[in-house]
Structure formats: structure tokens, C-alpha cells
Amino acid sequence: MSQDATDAVLAAIRFDANGLVPAIAQQHDTGEVLMMAWMNAESVAETLATGRVCYYSRSRQALWRKGETSGQTQHLRDLRVDCDGDTLLLLVHQDGVACHTGRRNCFFLAVRDGALVEIAKPEVSPETLYGQPHHGHGHG
């Protein structure tokens, strides 16, 4: 991605008071919504430069290169900015699973028969992904 393109994207984004913008990751070919996380200007620029999705972890207050620990990398296919510049849609190819629980996507809780239940099972264990029981949430 050229510097001009990166500058154009950054100029179109209305980062919030904390310098962040929510980013939705969607599997580019199936349409599955994988997760939502946050980006700052540096993570947007790095993502465009490398083609690998980099978020900003609010809990760790640091860049979060998706898959750096778990190997579950997201490869950027396209980046979309919404009408008012305050949300991004990332079309990606997800290696493996997006969710730190080992599920393909993070949106596995739904109401069935009057209760909130899990509608998807882990495809891999968090121990396999992280080498040890994973504490805390994955989205910063």
C-alpha cells in the first residue's frame, strides 16, 4: 500500500477521544463476521503496510499483531471506511480461528429457548493456541 493511500485512509478516519476506531473483521469469501476489535493510527498504518491485521489492545495498551502468539493470523484483503469515518470493515482471510476461545468467530452466544447459550464449539483448545490456559479477554 502506498503512503498516499495510507494517508488517505488515515485522513478519512474519525478516531475517538482515545485515538481509537472500532474495526470489524469479516472473512472475505464466506461473509462470516469473525470479531470486532480496536485500531489506532499506528495499527491501521502497519496493517496497510504489511497486509497482516494489527489491532490496538486497550487492556495491554500496545499494538496487537493478531496471531503473533497463537498463529491465527488475519490477512487483509480489503479495508473499508464507513460513511462517517468512525468504523472500519476489514475483509480478511483468517488462518484457523479468530476467537481466543478457539472458536472460529467470537459471536457464539445466542438466545435459544429463553436462555443465552453457546451455539458453536471450540475447534482448537486455548491451551493449544496459547500454550497455557488463557486468562483475560482477547479483544483488548
Which parts of this chain interact with a copy of itself (CB under 8 A)? Answer: 1-2, 4-5, 8-9, 12, 22, 24, 26, 30-33, 35-36, 48, 78-84, 86-87, 89, 99-101, 103, 106-111, 114-116, 119, 137-139
Identity of the residue, 28 or 63, whose beta carbon is nearer to a copy of itself in the bound complex: 28
Q: Minimal distance in Å, beta carbon 119 to a copy of itself?
A: 8
**Residue 39 C-beta: closest distance to a copy of itself, Å:** 13
Could you tell me the smallest distance in angstroms from the CB atom of residue 65 to a copy of itself? 19
Name the minimum Å distance from CB 2 to a copy of itself: 5
Choose between 47 and 65: whose C-beta lies nearer to a copy of itself.
Answer: 47
Return the number of the residue (22 or 63) whose C-beta is nearest a copy of itself: 22
Q: Residue 30 to residues 26, 27, 33, 52, 92: CA-CA distances in angstroms? A: 8, 6, 9, 19, 10
